[in-house]
Each structure stands twice: as structure tokens, then as C-alpha cells.
Amino acid sequence: MKVAIITLPRDIKGLKILITVMWRIRRNITQSRTVTRIFAETVQKYPNKAMVLYKDELLTFSQAYQFSNRVANFLHEEGYRKGDVIAIFTENCPQYVPLWLGMSKIGVVAALINFNLRDMPLVHCIQASRAKALIFASNLSEALKSVRPQLPSHTIYYCLDQAGPSDCPSINLMQRMSQYPDYEPPSVEGKCTDPLFYVYTSGTTGLPKAAVISNIRYCYMAYGVELFFGLRPDDVNYIPLPLYHTAGGILGTGQAVLRGTTIAIRNKFSASQFWADCVKYNATSAQYIGEICRYLLAQPPRPEEQQHLVRVMFGNGIKPQIWPQFQQRFGIRLIGEFYGATEGNCNIVNFENKIGAVGFTTRIAPFLYPITLVKVDPATNDIVRDADGVCVLAKPGEPGELVGKIVKGNPVREFDGYLDSKASSKKVITDVFRKGDQAFSTGDILVMDEYGYMYFRDRTGDTFRWRGENVSTNEVEAVISNAIGLNDAVVYGVEVPGNEGKAGMAAIVDENNQVDVNKLGESLARSLPTYARPLFVRFIPMADTTGTFKLSKTKLRDEGFDVKQVRDPVFFLNPKTRLYEPLTDLVYRDIQAMSIRL
């Protein structure tokens, strides 16, 4: 009774919003209102309103619409048709959203490539999308040039902002597009279930996987954020996050595309300019990931942090330890924390400033939104099942893996999965609530309290999160192995004081002291984005293996980089020299005291 009385107002609001989202989605489906059609309606409402603010540039809704039409007409004339894929490899820019909108108008699917990727991961993502062409920014031409020999020979390259260098030949996209009309392109029958674009996610194992974002999914996620956090068409939403990710590229841009909100973007996040930008653009809402909140708190006080108009910030990963301090210092009325897997159906939100909670589920009528926590074996991460083979549900206070029931035909409960069907099947588990059903497995461990609020605890599988990015240990292990002559290496995440998530640490088998740590560092810098490079490297004489010959990480992970426990040589990536240097007792103490910030 106590739980019902306390949670009823919250649950009623949540139910009302869920019903509204479902009504909008059903209407979109019955009326074939795809994202591009909804965008056309938005443009009619706000033709001369600013859609995108970037540096000192302004792109109105009409200008974005005309640009998207030119994109569509040009690509159609080039021979691209419904179902074709074109990859986008560029930092945030005003043309980013109109680019994929224009592709979608003729049924072409955009693959949004992480602009931090290099070498093998970059090749993998482009090839995995089966892209026929690639649109890239000129400042990324060097990264592209180094992998071009490994890409299919028939791939066509378009440089977004100018002609590419002579040793990386490409077509000048802007110049060619300017010759094409801005009226509506040839009509292509589109459905709400059609893919809109691909977003890459680390998943739980291996290289990044292309998650399919359908028109329905884009709308569902954007509508939910809008309604739960009270976003309005007259807002200016500041997006310092990359547009190739779900947070910025769907939850943020969706407010503009679907509802007419102005968005202000940066090419890359800047802690020192965050509040200055908010003041400059008159932002009333802004987005974050946990790292951003910590970076902002670490900045010296400046006038802009009290002059801004931001009333709500929404995102995921803010630590409960800094949540109250962040709100108080910067005067943010609402911190809208949420949890959601890009490809999954387990989206939850915290719209009540409940410190530490990533969202909630109803304890009164859980059947209304069938997500739950199932018990896992802490040693193996295997799901615990009862005598009948059905998953055992975690009780309040017990850690469990978050799963969401899959219901075919229900747009909120569907699982669109990955482009790779094998990868999709690995995320589906059976016999969850009852025999014969299916659910999406998030791979994340959460804890629920007695009122249904959920708190993030850890990630299962072979990923960890650092600098707001999911890092695949398998991917980093493969790069290290290639760099050291295919010797064994294991990668895992370790906690570092004063930092969100877990930093990468590699344990490398080096029996005869043959690995040159400086050359290893150079190789990793070439092949891995900054956030994926191990901050610690440990050299071990041999590796423990499991019964199936998999390298064991448990003991290594538990020891971390603690010099009191580790007797092997350990190196750390010095943030000043950017070289791997010996981890001495003094350095270890400085890291613990946060005198050295990694």
C-alpha cells in the first residue's frame, strides 16, 4: 500500500506519456508519416525559423529542406535507389541532418560512422554497412586515405566541404549538388518500418555493430524525451554530443526534425565553451553524458554559468556523487536522466530529479511496461533460471540484468536489432517471464529499489565505458595482438579515482621481454580512437585460460593497477607526454590522490 501511494502519481504521468507516444506512433503508421514527411510538416510550420545554429552560421528549416532536396535529386540522378547505403564520415556540421534526411527521401539509408575511428575499426564499420559510397569531411581525408586500399574498389567518395586531396580522389559534393534543383525529388514509397539510418554500437562483444534505426524507432525515442522532459518547439536545444550517436543524433536532432525546436551544435565538445555557447545561442535545454558533467564541474567559475537560460539538461551517466552539486552550481532545475540501448526496447527515464536513478518501472502494474531485472551469476554473468528453465527475477535490492519483453507488432516492444542477423540473435533470450516468450538482453546490470527506481551498476560481457563511449575489449585486444606479433593480450576496465566509467588496462603476455612499449604506444595511437587506448599496460609472463581456452580476466581485473598487489611491470599513459611510462609508487599515489588526471 505504501509503495502504491508513493508511486501512483509518477506511474500515472508515465502511463499518460506512454499512451501519447503510442498514439503518435500509431498515427504515423496508419498515415505513412515517415520522418521525412513529418519534417516537411515541420518546415511548413516554421519555414524561416532557425533549425541549426553552428558557430556563427544559421540554417533555417526552409534552407535545410531545400538542401535535403538537392541531396536527394543529386543522389537519385547518380543512380542510388531505395535500400542502397551511403556512409557519412564527418564531424558535427549544419549539413549533417539534412544529409541523411535527403538520402531518406529516396529510400537511401545513411550509415553514421564515428569520426574518431581509424584503421581496422573504420574499415569494418564501412564494410559492415555495405555502403556503395562514402561522404567525408576534408579534415578526415588522411584517416580515409590510409584505409582506402582495404575498402571495396567500387566505392564512390564524395568530399562534403571541398575536393579531396589528389592522392585521395573524390567528387566535390557541394559543388555538384549546387547544380541540382531544390524541389521535391522523385516520389519513393516509404513505410514507417523502413530503416532510416544505422547507428554503431559496441554491443557486448567484438567490433562495432550497425544498429538499425527505423522511422518508428527514431520517432519513439525523440517523442519520449520531449514529453518526459517537457521540451517545447520554442526551446533551443544545445547538443555538444556527436551526431553519429543516439543521444545527439536521435534524441537531440529529433526535437528539431519532428517538433520544430532549434538545435545548436558544436563540431566537438568543449568544457570551457559549454556555458558560453549556451548564453550565445540562448539555449533553454542542453544534453550531457556523465563525463561532461564532471568536466564542467572541474572548470573554474565563469560568469556564463549563471547567465544562461538552461532549465533542463538530459542525458545519461551523471554520478549521484556530483548530481546535487552540479544542479546547485549551474542552477539547472531538472536533470533528466535516462537509460536506453540504441538497438533495444528497454528505455526508462527519471523525470523527477531522483538522484542516482536512471529511470523507473511501475511496481503496481508491471505488465503495462514489461521490462524487468533477471538474476545473473556474478562469476559467469549467466542468467539464473528456475527448475522450469524460466528466468529468476531479481528482487528489490538485488543486482540483475535488465531485459525487455519482445512483442511482435508492437512498435514500442519490437526489437529492430542489427544489420548483422547473427549479432541480433545473440541479444534475444527466451523463457523470460514465462515459457516460450522472448526478451531483449541489454547486457547491463542494474539494481531496483522498492519503489521501482533503477540504478545502473555495471556492464556484463566484453565492454566497458570510458569517456562516454563503449569500448569493446575484443577489438582492443585484436589491435594489440597484431601490434606485438600475435602474442596473447587481455583488456579490461579498471576504476580510476575521480573518473566516470572504467579506464582501459591491457595485460600482455611477454615471456622474454621482447615487447617495445614505445612502439606499442605508437601503434595503438595509429589504430585506436583516444577513448579506446589502454591507459595502463601490464606485462605478464603467462596468462590464465578457462576450460574453453579463453583468456581469464577476473584476477587481473580485481588487481587492477594497484602496485601493492601487482608485481609485474606496469606502465601508464602519461597525459602530458602521451607516452607509456613506468607506474611507480609515487605515480600510483598521485593518481589515487587525483594529482595526475588521466
Mean pLDDT of the chain: 90
Query: Is residue 597 domain-resident?
Result: no
pLDDT over threshold 80, residue 162: no
> Residue 54 has what DSSP assignment?
E
11-25, 248-262, 584-598: segment of lowest average pLDDT: 584-598
**Residue after which a domain boundary falls, among 207, 240, 268:** 268
3-class DSSP assignment, residue 210: strand
10-14, 180-184, 530-534: segment of lowest average pLDDT: 530-534
Transcribe 544-569 into DSSP letters.
-B-TTSPBP-HHHHHHTT-TTT--S-
36-45, 209-218, 372-381: segment of lowest average pLDDT: 372-381
> Residue 204 has what DSSP assignment?
S
What average pLDDT does range 266-276 have in this prediction? 94
Q: Among positive and negative, which fits the CA dihedral 69, 75, 77, 81? A: negative
Pairing of strands 334-339, 359-360: unpaired
What average pLDDT does range 17-46 have in this prediction? 97
The three grid cell numbers given for residue 249, joined into one nine-digit string? 543524433
Q: What does the buried/exposed string (b/e) look like for 459-471 if buried means 16 or more CB atoms within 10 Å of the residue's CB?
A: bbbbbbbbbbbbb
At residue 544 the predicted structure's pLDDT band, cuts being 50, 70 and 90, is low
At residue 317 the predicted structure's pLDDT band, cuts being 50, 70 and 90, is confident
What average pLDDT does range 401-426 have in this prediction? 88
Specify whether 428 is located in the same domain as 538: no
CATH at residue 572: 3.30.300.30
Query: Is residue 71 domain-resident?
Result: yes
Angle between helices 61-77 and 96-105 (to 10 degrees): 50
At residue 129 the predicted structure's pLDDT band, cuts being 50, 70 and 90, is very high
Position 164 scores a pLDDT of 60
Position 490 scores a pLDDT of 85
Position 114 scores a pLDDT of 92
pLDDT over threshold 90, residue 479: no
Q: Could you tell me the CA-to-CA distances from 204 to 207, 441, 463, 470, 492 in Å, in that order?
A: 9, 10, 6, 9, 13
Q: How far apart are the first and last CA of the chain?
A: 48
Q: Where are the alpha helices (DSSP H) in 269-409?
A: 274-280, 290-298, 304-307, 323-330
Specify whether 514 is located in the same domain as 430: no
Position 205 scores a pLDDT of 47
Position 547 scores a pLDDT of 39
Position 72 scores a pLDDT of 98
- Gap between the Cα atoms of 14 and 362, Å rounded: 9
Position 355 scores a pLDDT of 96
Closest CA to 343 of 224, 220, 465, 502: 220
**Residue after which a domain boundary falls, among 459, 484, 513:** 459
- Gap between the Cα atoms of 253 and 265, Å rounded: 10
> Residue 370 has what DSSP assignment?
-
Query: Is residue 538 domain-resident?
Result: yes
Specify whether 263 is located in the same domain as 379: no
Residues near 442 by Cβ (< 8 Å), separated by ≥ 6?
341, 344, 346, 401, 402, 403, 404
**Residue after which a domain boundary falls, among 397, 428, 459:** 459
Q: What is the pTM of this model?
A: 0.86
The three grid cell numbers given for residue 46, joined into one nine-digit string? 516554421
44-53, 191-200, 220-229, 421-430: segment of lowest average pLDDT: 421-430
- Model pLDDT for residues 421-452, shown as the tens digit of each residue: 888 898 999 999 999 999 999 988 899 999 99
Percentage of the chain lying above the pLDDT 90 cut? 65
Structural domain harbouring 518:
463-592
Specify whether 451 is located in the same domain as 481: no
Specify whether 232 is located in the same domain as 176: yes
Specify whether 446 is located in the same domain as 471: no
94-103, 201-210, 554-563: segment of lowest average pLDDT: 201-210
SS (H, E, C) 261-278: CEEEECCCCCCCCHHHHH
Specify whether 514 is located in the same domain as 368: no
Specify whether 117 is located in the same domain as 139: yes
> Residue 251 has what DSSP assignment?
I
pLDDT over threshold 90, residue 161: no
What average pLDDT does range 61-67 have in this prediction? 98
Number of structural domains (the chain) is: 3
Position 549 scores a pLDDT of 40
Specify whether 106 is located in the same domain as 84: yes
